[in-house]
Amino acid sequence: MSLTSIRRATRESVSGLPREFWWLWTSTLVNRLGAFVATFMALYLTLDRGYSASYAGLVAALHGLGGVVSSLGAGIMTDRLGRRPTLLIAQSSTAVSVALLGFMHHPLAIAAVAFLVGMASNASRPAVQAMMADIVRPEDRVRAFSLNYWAINLGFAISSMGAGFIAEFSYLAGFLIEAGMTMICAIVVFAKLPESRPTRTAAEKAAPEVGLGTVLRDGRFMSVVSLSFLVALIFQQGAVGLPVAMGEAGFTPADYGLAIAVNGVLIVALQIPVTRFIEHRDPRRLLVLSSLLAGYGFGLTAFAGSVGVFALTVCVWTLAEIVNAPTQTSLVVRLSPTHGRGRYQGMYTMSWAVASLVAPLMSGLVIDRYGAEWLWGICAVIGTAAGAGYGLLMRRLPADEPAREAEVPATTKPEVNAA
């Protein structure tokens, strides 16, 4: 491909999106550039503070539990208070709690504040996704979500490299830098992003409120959430099952770092061109294909005996991740009523938060009792089940179904106290 072709492809990928989207995109990038704590938290607790690996795992689990708790609450705030206030509250709270965590010394205090950090940091996701759906045209949403996902991974790749150098200098500096970068995100939101929540018409105000009960009774959407959980359970193994399995096979942490680095490099390199290829294609086939690639990509790990082969398996499931992330997020928006986007996005976010809790337990139990080969076989089975689920579910979803603007499912009854 010539340089001119590359420039044209890049220009087409980023053109036509509103200015508000790019400020939101910038906020996401800055946030991920400062995401140091998640990278070195386990090392900080075990090496710097001298706690056990079990305690570090407990803190990580509490951090994940905080994300589960805040998913639904943040979704409700996004619909009731608005996207902008929810983002400001979430990012400001994250900045304060991360800074506070750096000064905690007692194990109970560290665990409690880590839980608060998990709550605060996860609370911004439903608001970001709802705001993005508000300000971007339906036909551009896959591209917009893909660009946002690219920013997340670019920022995380850079911050992961910087985290090691910062940790050698001062762990506290890492906490404070992340707090400062997150506060910059809040300032960007305050200064540049107007509220995007759609204004209700008189008919929409008279319609039944979209509450959590509405979401839970939406069988098609909850099926998507369940399938999302299965796919997330597979992807989480790249961070929890893979390093343990490689360690037990005699590989070093550096070997794992080399293999997993392929994930970030491929996402940064391929996310935008792959999105241009998939953005107008049938989401049914994309979700089925990505589920199978994820499952069998991890399944192939059972046959890996060298760092190079491990890296090849990472290539397979990374391609699945590149295809799945924007397609799945766009589908969630498509199935969400406009004035319930926050709650719907909160439920979707919770599927990933719960997967982050379940995945370490699953991988540890399976590897300890049966061996890593069984874990990779289970991933292949889960990927097959998810692919079949998407195939069956999407057969009932017409390819050209428009986004539901203010629709409430026909089976929904008015709620007295909608959450």
184 & 48 share domain? yes
Q: Is residue 138 part of a domain?
A: yes
Residues near 96 by beta carbon (within 8 Å), at least 6 away in sequence: 179
Work out the burial of residue 54: count CB atoms within 10 Å of its CB; fewer than 13 is exposed, 13-18 middle, 19 or more buried.
Answer: exposed
284 & 175 share domain? no
What is the token pair recorded at 229? 């959980």
**Residue 271: predicted pLDDT:** 84
285 & 162 share domain? no
At 35-68, the pLDDT tens digits run 777 767 776 887 788 888 678 778 878 888 888 8
**Residue 74: predicted pLDDT:** 87
3-class secondary structure per residue, the chain:
CCHHHHHHHHHHHHCCCCHHHHHHHHHHHHHHHCCCHHHHHHHHHHHHCCCCHHHHHHHHHHHHHHHHHHHHHHHHHHHHCCHHHHHHHHHHHHHHHHHHHCCCCCHHHHHHHHHHHHHHHHCHHHHHHHHHHHHCCHHHHHHHHHHHHHHHHHHHHHHHHHHHHHHHHCHHHHHHHHHHHHHHHHHHHHHHCCCCCCCCCHHHHHCCCCCHHHHHHCHHHHHHHHHHHHHHHHHHHHCCHHHHHHHHCCCCHHHHHHHHHHHHHHHHHHHHHHHHHHCCCCHHHHHHHHHHHHHHHHHHHHHCCCHHHHHHHHHHHHHHHHHHHHHHHHHHHHCCCHHHHHHHHHHHHHHHHHHHHHHHHHHHHHHHHCCHHHHHHHHHHHHHHHHHHHHHHHCCCCCCCCCCCCCCCCCCCCCCCCC
| Cα distance between residue 36 and residue 156, in whole Å | 8
At 259-301, the pLDDT tens digits run 888 888 888 888 888 887 887 788 888 999 999 999 999 999 9
161 & 264 share domain? no
Low-confidence ranges of the chain (pLDDT < 50): 1, 398-419
Q: Is 16 left (phi over 0), alpha (psi -120 to 50) or beta?
A: left
Q: Is residue 1 part of a domain?
A: no
Q: Is residue 111 part of a domain?
A: yes
CB 352 within 8 A of CB 228: yes
284 & 170 share domain? no
What is the token pair recorded at 4? 């001119």
Give whole-number Cα distances, 56 to 29, 46, 50, 62, in Å: 28, 7, 10, 10
Host domain of residue 112: 20-195
**Residue 357: predicted pLDDT:** 81
352 & 279 share domain? yes
30 & 108 share domain? yes
CB 306 within 8 A of CB 375: no
Give the CATH number for residue 189.
Answer: 1.20.1250.20
305 & 359 share domain? yes
Q: What rounded mean pLDDT belongs to the chain?
A: 82
239 & 349 share domain? yes
Work out the burial of residue 185: count CB atoms within 10 Å of its CB; fewer than 13 is exposed, 13-18 middle, 19 or more buried.
Answer: buried
359 & 239 share domain? yes
Among 195, 230, 249, the domain-final residue is 195
Residues near 325 by beta carbon (within 8 Å), at least 6 away in sequence: 145, 146, 149
301 & 350 share domain? yes
284 & 375 share domain? yes
Domains of the chain: total: 2
**Residue 133: predicted pLDDT:** 85
Q: Is residue 200 part of a domain?
A: no
Q: Is residue 417 part of a domain?
A: no
pLDDT > 90 fraction of the chain, expressed in percent and rounded: 29
**Residue 179: predicted pLDDT:** 92
